Amino acid sequence: MNCVHALTVFLFAVSISPVMCQTAEERKEKIQQREATTPSKEAAERKTRSLDRLKKEGVPILDSLPVIEDSQEAKTRTKEEIAQRAIAVCLTAVKGEGVEQKVIDSLVTKFGAEKFFTPEEAAFIKDPSPAREDSIKFSWRYECLWVLLWSLGYVDNLERPEGICDVPKAVSFLKDRDTAQFIKDAKLRPLNELLDEADLIYRYHWAVTSARLKNQEAPAKLEGGVVQERHYVLNWLIGYMDQAWDDISTDT
């Protein structure tokens, strides 16, 4: 991800039913159905709040971009489910930075994480010589971890996605805990807070994508990679399209 994440390697190492993939056409059809439906008051007000914030920040907006799920439609995930996801994401990100396999294996054992991984993660975590592109992909997932930690109450606030997260701090929440203690100490955020962030990142992502397609820099100091990863994990947290982790789409 970035050389500043190298410190994580030291900090961490020393302490120690799937949904079918959806096609683009199927997703498009569902999005069109949503656009044709009158949005709920909750969803419409959330969109308005997001647009007001983006305008103040000087971020381009698209008024016609539809609402996202409201609290009646979104999926509510348990503290245990999110915590296990956070552990799996953390371990694959650490491996993505190049930590040697025997250390990774010991961490998997420490957290009892064998069943926490998705099929794609499991293949990566067991591969003694993963492809460079896979390592880069998984090291970027620290940004997903940061949001998961926020949803569990470990991180107080999500700042604007204009810089990478505090990786050493993210790892520190797991460094001296086992899985049971990590779950026990978590304080799950209300679904409405997750939806607020999901709606906002959806619109940030549109702005970043629009700029990229025009060969322009991301607007208002936004970091495209961070925006992408946050959109990914927030879509999972709210159950977007009921997609499994490996299959999450970040439609804009």
Q: Which residues contact 77 (CB under 8 A, 6 or more apart)?
A: 237, 239
Record the tokens describing residue 61, joined without a space: 């907006």
Check residues 97 and 15 and name the one with the higher pLDDT: 97
Which pLDDT belongs to residue 225? 97
Give residue for tokens 């947290």.
237
Taking only the tens place, the pLDDT of each residue in 116-143 is 999 999 999 999 999 999 999 999 999 9
Tokens of 60: 């381009």
pLDDT grade for 25, boundaries at 50, 70 and 90: confident
Distances (CA, A) of 125 to 7, 100, 121, 188, 230: 20, 11, 6, 27, 22
Residue at 104: amino acid letter: I
Mean pLDDT (the chain, rounded): 91
What DSSP line would sit under 14-76, residue for residue?
T---PPPPPPHHHHHHHHHHHHTSPPPHHHHHHHHHHHHHHHHHT----TTSPP---TTTSPP
CA-nearest of 77, 93, 55, 39 to 237 is: 77
Q: Torsion over CA of 154, 156, 160 and 162, rounded to 10 degrees?
A: -50
Q: Does the structure show a pLDDT above 60 at 87?
A: yes
pTM of the model: 0.89
DSSP state letter for 242 = G
Judged by average pLDDT, the poorest of 34-48, 82-96, 132-146, 212-226 is 34-48
Element (H, E) at 181: helix 179-185
